Amino acid sequence: MKDADWGLDTVKIWAIALTDQRITQNEFEMAKRKSLGLEWCPTAPADFLKLGRSEQAKNYPDMRQAYIDAVNQKYPEAVVFETAKRVGFWEIRTQSEAVTWKRWQEIYPQVCAEHASGAEFALPKEKQLEYSHTPLQPNSPMAAKVEEFLAQFKRKGAGA
């Protein structure tokens, strides 16, 4: 587009289109910088937005796959977990995909943009108790009590 093509109506249309696509400040700056090096400037807002989102898309999981992972309660990356948290873990499990997928599409690019801007998100740390089993020794003080307990049910103890 030439400078003369940028009338007030064109600017309004682009602003509405880019706002509807939820362009972030970082995406706008990236697209603006990349468009300066092109032989032909983007002639549609969607093309301009692709310039800003193309770099981010390379660094993060595919939006649909990230959603499917979250539905299955798998969080391969912190941005997936953070998005699921913002959408709502309960909502993802209980509401229809028509509702949660639409919300995911709004939030996931924002989370990725925040992360690209330096925000740090963390995966939850699993708290698993260590399992240990110590078999009952025949000379243990508890062995007699176990034998007594088993005798009540007319069973023979393991050592008999």
Query: What's the CA gap between 140 and 52, in Å, rounded?
Result: 71
pTM above 0.95, yes or no: no
Give me the percent of the chain exceeding a pLDDT of 70.
Answer: 89
Confidence of residue 94 (pLDDT cuts 50, 70, 90): very high
Whether residue 2 has pLDDT greater than 70: no
159 has pLDDT over 60: no
* Cα 23 from Cα 28, distance rounded (Å): 7
Report yes or no: 115 and 79 within 8 Å, Cβ to Cβ: yes
Kindly provide the b/e burial profile for residues 8-30, where b requires at least 16 CB atoms within 10 angstroms of the residue's own CB.
eeeeeebeeebeeeebbebbeeb
Mean of pLDDT over the chain: 82
Res 75: pLDDT: 92
Band of pLDDT at residue 57, cut at 50, 70 and 90: low
Of 83, 127, 73, the residue nearest 106 (C-alpha): 83
Q: Which amino acid, residue 63?
A: M
In the predicted model, is pLDDT for residue 55 greater than 60?
Answer: no
Mean of pLDDT values over 29-39: 80
Burial annotation 82-120 (CB, 10 A radius, 16+ → b, else e): bbbbebeeeebeeeeeeebbebbeebbbebbbbbbeeee
**The predicted structure's pLDDT at residue 154:** 66
The answer to whether residue 91 scores a pLDDT higher than 60 is: yes
Tokens at residue 102, please? 């639409």
CA 119 to the chain's CA centroid: 14
User: Is the pLDDT reported for residue 92 higher than 90?
Assistant: yes
